[in-house]
């Protein structure tokens, strides 16, 4: 029992699975489930009404023997149309009058008006000397009102005998008494020549009958050639009309015992107006007795004899002889071979719709043509795969974007964003904004300490040009130094100190945005790629302003730590800007980077190198070297092995003048004094002992004084 239940569930599961994949099954399930209670009741009610409508109300539906009696037939007064009375004997259904009565097997109104009745066979038996001993010609009296015709399409005439011609006749008189005659000859040489099942002239013949027959009455030919003398093996002839293919010949039926046998025969019936001159549909429609009274009914001329019959019009069924007798057919509930539909069936009043389900189409009417998927299987698979791939790509894209966002946020935090976002005056750019500023790093200015430097434009009204530098990788250990460094740089507000405009913290490495120095570094214009003519006056201006910048830094308690021409940048007006200050502190944290610092050793204060202690005087030393470069336009190490500092010191000590090392380009009478003074100051800055070196402010002051004394214009810095 349990096992059965389990399998039943599996079966139900399978059914529901297939229901999902096949529209036909689905539809039929819908039909079963959706119109649940009320429509079901309605259907039952309809069926009941349809049944009751085949009769007149309060008439007996049958004699109880299983034969329905639909109107115009009826049992009892007022229940039948004249000519269509049915009687009951016991529970037997009877057609006829008080003297001749015939059992009825069925009475049909639609699709054909038919009645099936049992009629006795006609016979004639002979003695050996050819005398008739028994006879009955089959004439019956069921047709007093003339409503019946023997169905020519549903019956055949059968004759049994061994030297016999029998025929039937009917219809109006014409050349002869009747319009129609039909019969055949049965002959048998002896009893051995007849065969069971073979009704083809030997002992048995059969023939189709003409329309218009009103009676079963048979005419027997006898005497002469049709003599039955000495025919003891075959004493009787029999004739009967029976339902086609109903009778199966047997040699034993030639015996006299066949007398009294009855066989079923089909009768057509029609409205023949009770014997009065018969009417066609056109004539009958205006008569009071016109009997096609139901809505959706029509009149059809009888095709067996005169008169008319009624029929429900297409899409309706029932009894057209009763008011409201024709009812709508629910074609969808009928077998598909009756009302074909290859798609989804929908009943309508008097008809039905048939449409292909969504996703299917047919070439023509789906009632006749199959519904095929609009997209073939391959296309659906392809679309399916396409959609899968699409969603996969979208999912991956989303995941990637999320990851990027997370990365940006992580970087932001790693780069001290949480501290720096609270710092007033610091513009923090997002990665997107930065990419817009640098136009995706489209213009590279060169290499900084930690990577490339890109040119950019801020989205402000002035379209301020900026340089964007990558910074050192910040980790947990460096985060404090980095944020401090940014804050220090932000605080620096001096025309000769490179201004920090903002930063971006969403990348792996923080990016710093600085004001742009169009002319590159002092090193560039002195020695390298942008080398240009530089007057002594300009060199002095650069020296003064650089000293002012450094001096300002020292006044803010900041040491540069890496003063050299590379770190003095020049804007479009050749105004110097001190850059990359405070870096060395960070540089020393990363071991790799510290080697780079070693490369700049020539500028490094020997005291700082020995003690590792960075003081303002260390910057003064380095600035001394810068001064030497300005006046000599020589690099730290020049020629074969010339060391600028050592050589200059040497020359200065021996000659009390640096003249031999001055840049030839600017050695003139007016300039010589400026150059000598700058040289002298440089030597002071380069003193071994820090105590011997001037403060940065003093250096600036002396340079300004020198300019005032030698130049006419009175420029202020």
DSSP-derived 3-state class of residue 681: helix
Binding segment toward ligand NAG, per CB under 6 A, in 186-194, 360-368, 409-417, 448-456: 186-194
583 close to 449: Cβ distance less than 8 angstroms: yes
Query: Which lies closer to ligand NAG via its Cβ, residue 189 or residue 447?
Result: 189
Q: How far is the CB of 72 from ligand NAG (least distance, A)?
A: 14
Q: Which residues are catalytic?
A: 562
Q: How far is the CB of 232 from ligand NAG (least distance, A)?
A: 10
Query: Which lies closer to ligand NAG via its Cβ, residue 302 or residue 622?
Result: 302
Strand 428-429 to 372-373 pairing: unpaired
Q: Which residues of 140-155 are buried (b: 16+ CB within 10 A; e: fewer)?
A: bebbebbbbbbbbebb
Q: How far is the CB of 130 from ligand NAG (least distance, A)?
A: 6
Query: Which lies closer to ligand NAG via its Cβ, residue 68 or residue 130?
Result: 130
Residues between 60 and 119 that touch ligand NAG (CB under 6 A): 111-112
CA distance linking residue 508 with residue 470, whole number of Å: 10
Judged by CB under 6 A, the residue of 41, 89, 190, 442 near ligand NAG is 190
Cis peptide, bond prior to residue 111, ω within 30 of zero = yes
80 close to 74: Cβ distance less than 8 angstroms: yes
Query: Which lies closer to ligand NAG via its Cβ, residue 237 or residue 317?
Result: 317
326 close to 313: Cβ distance less than 8 angstroms: yes
Query: Which lies closer to ligand NAG via its Cβ, residue 112 or residue 527?
Result: 112
Q: What would the two tokens of residue 203 be?
A: 């002992």
- Return the closest-CA partner of residue 507 out of 398, 407, 399, 583: 407
Judged by CB under 6 A, the residue of 200, 229, 401, 613 near ligand NAG is 229
Judged by CB under 6 A, the residue of 189, 280, 430, 668 near ligand NAG is 189
Residues between 236 and 295 that touch ligand NAG (CB under 6 A): none
Using CB under 6 A as the binding criterion, the count of chain residues that bind ligand NAG stands at: 11
At residue 306's C-alpha, the angle toward residues 304 and 311, to 5°, is 70
CA distance linking residue 520 with residue 317, whole number of Å: 103
Which residues are bridge partners to 566 per DSSP? none
Binding segment toward ligand NAG, per CB under 6 A, in 188-196, 393-401, 436-444, 578-586: 188-196
Known binding residue 56? Answer is no
Binding map of ligand NAG across residues 290-319, x = CB under 6 A, - = no contact: ----------x--------x-x--x-----
**Residue 374 interacts with ligand NAG (CB under 6 A): yes or no:** no
**Which DSSP string do the residues of 74-143 spell out, in sequence order?**
EESTTSS-TT-EEEEETTEEEEE-SS-EEEEEEEE-SSS-EEEEEEEPEEEEE-TTS-EEEEE-------
Binding segment toward ligand NAG, per CB under 6 A, in 187-195, 265-273, 384-392, 702-710: 187-195
Q: How far is the CB of 85 from ligand NAG (least distance, A)?
A: 22
Query: Which lies closer to ligand NAG via its Cβ, residue 296 or residue 560?
Result: 296
Q: How far is the CB of 126 from ligand NAG (least distance, A)?
A: 11
CA distance linking residue 324 with residue 319, whole number of Å: 8
Number of other residues whose CB lies within 10 A of the CB of residue 264:
19
Query: How many Å is the Cα radius of gyration of the chain?
Result: 63
Judged by CB under 6 A, the residue of 16, 44, 91, 230 near ligand NAG is 230
Kindly tell me the burial class for residue 634, based on how many C-beta atoms sit within 10 Å of its own C-beta (0-12, 13-18, 19 or more): buried
Q: How far is the CB of 164 from ligand NAG (least distance, A)?
A: 17
Q: How far is the CB of 309 from ligand NAG (least distance, A)?
A: 5
Query: Which lies closer to ligand NAG via its Cβ, residue 335 or residue 612?
Result: 335
Using CB under 6 A, list all residues that contact ligand NAG. 111-112, 189-190, 193, 229-230, 300, 309, 311, 314
Annotated binding site: 469
Annotated binding site for ATP: 469
């Amino acid at each position: 029992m349990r096992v059965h239940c389990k399998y039943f569930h599996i079966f139900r599961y399978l059914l529901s699975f297939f229901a999902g994949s096949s529209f036909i099954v689905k539809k039929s399930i819908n039909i079963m489930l959706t119109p649940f209670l009320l429509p079901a009741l309605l259907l039952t009610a309809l069926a009941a009404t349809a049944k009751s409508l085949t009769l007149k109300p309060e008439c007996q539906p049958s004699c109880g023997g299983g034969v329905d009696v639909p109107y115009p037939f009826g049992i009892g007064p007022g229940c039948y149309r004249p000519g269509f009375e049915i009687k009951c004997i016991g529970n037997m259904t009877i057609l006829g009058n008080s003297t001749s009565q015939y059992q009825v097997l069925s009475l049909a109104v639609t699709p054909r008006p038919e009645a099936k009745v049992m009629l006795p066979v006609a016979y004639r038996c002979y003695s050996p000397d050819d005398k008739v001993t028994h006879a009955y010609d089959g004439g019956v009296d069921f047709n007093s009102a003339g409503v019946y015709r023997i169905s020519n399409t549903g019956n055949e005439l059968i004759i049994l005998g061994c030297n016999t011609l029998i025929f039937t006749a009917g219809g109006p008189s014409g050349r002869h008494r009747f319009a129609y005659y039909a019969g055949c000859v049965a002959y048998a040489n002896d009893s051995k020549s007849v065969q069971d099942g073979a009704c083809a002239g030997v002992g048995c013949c059969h023939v189709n009958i003409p329309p218009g027959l009103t009676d079963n009455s048979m005419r027997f030919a006898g005497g002469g050639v049709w003599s039955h003398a000495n025919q003891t093996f075959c004493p009787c002839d029999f004739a009967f009309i029976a339902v086609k293919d109903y009778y199966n010949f047997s040699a034993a039926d030639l015996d006299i015992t066949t007398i009294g046998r009855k066989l079923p025969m089909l009768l057509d019936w029609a409205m023949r107006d009770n014997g009065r001159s018969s009417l066609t549909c056109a004539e009958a429609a205006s008569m009071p007795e016109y009997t096609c009274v139901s809505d959706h009914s029509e009149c059809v001329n009888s095709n067996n004899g005169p008169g008319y019959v009624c029929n429900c019009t297409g899409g309706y069924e029932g009894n057209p002889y009763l008011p409201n007798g024709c009812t709508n057919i629910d074609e969808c509930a009928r077998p598909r071979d009756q009302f074909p539909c290859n798609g989804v069936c929908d009943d309508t009043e008097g008809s039905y719709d048939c449409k292909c389900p969504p996703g299917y189409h047919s070439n023509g009417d789906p009632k006749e043509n199959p519904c095929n998927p609009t997209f073939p299987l391959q296309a659906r698979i392809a679309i399916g795969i396409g959609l899968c791939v699409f969603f996969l790509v979208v999912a991956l894209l989303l995941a990637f974007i999320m990851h990027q966002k997370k990365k940006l946020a992580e970087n932001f935090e790693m780069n001290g964003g949480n501290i720096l976002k609270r710092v007033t005056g610091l513009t923090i750019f997002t990665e997107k904004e930065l990419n817009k500023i640098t136009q995706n790093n489209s213009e590279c200015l060169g290499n900084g300490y930690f990577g490339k430097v890109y040119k950019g434009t801020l989205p402000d009204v002035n379209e301020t040009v900026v340089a964007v530098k990558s910074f050192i990788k910040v980790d947990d250990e460096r985060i404090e130094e980095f944020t401090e460094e940014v804050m220090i740089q932000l605080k620096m507000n001096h025309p000769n100190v490179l201004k920090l405009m903002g930063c971006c913290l969403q990348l792996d490495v923080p990016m710093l945005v600085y004001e742009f120095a169009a002319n590159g570094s002092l090193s560039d214009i002195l020695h390298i790629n942008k080398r240009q003519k530089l007057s002594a006056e300009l060199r002095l201006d650069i020296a003064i302003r650089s000293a002012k910048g450094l001096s300002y830094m020292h006044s803010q308690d900041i040491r540069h730590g890496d003063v050299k021409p590379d770190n003095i940048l020049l804007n479009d007006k050749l105004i110097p800007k001190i850059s990359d200050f405070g870096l060395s502190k960070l540089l020393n944290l990363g071991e790799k980077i510290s080697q780079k610092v070693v490369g700049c050793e020539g500028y490094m204060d020997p005291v700082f190198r020995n003690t590792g202690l960075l003081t303002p005087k260390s910057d003064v030393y380095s600035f001394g070297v810068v001064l030497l470069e300005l006046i000599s336009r020589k690099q730290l190490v020049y020629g074969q092995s010339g060391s600028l500092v050592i050589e200059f010191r040497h020359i200065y000590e021996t000659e009390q003048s640096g003249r031999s090392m001055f840049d030839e380009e600017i050695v003139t009478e007016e300039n010589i004094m400026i150059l000598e003074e700058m040289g002298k100051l440089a030597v002071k800055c380069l003193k071994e002992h820090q105590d011997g070196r001037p403060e940065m402010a003093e250096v600036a002051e002396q340079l300004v004084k020198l300019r005032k004394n030698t130049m006419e214009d009175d420029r202020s810095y």
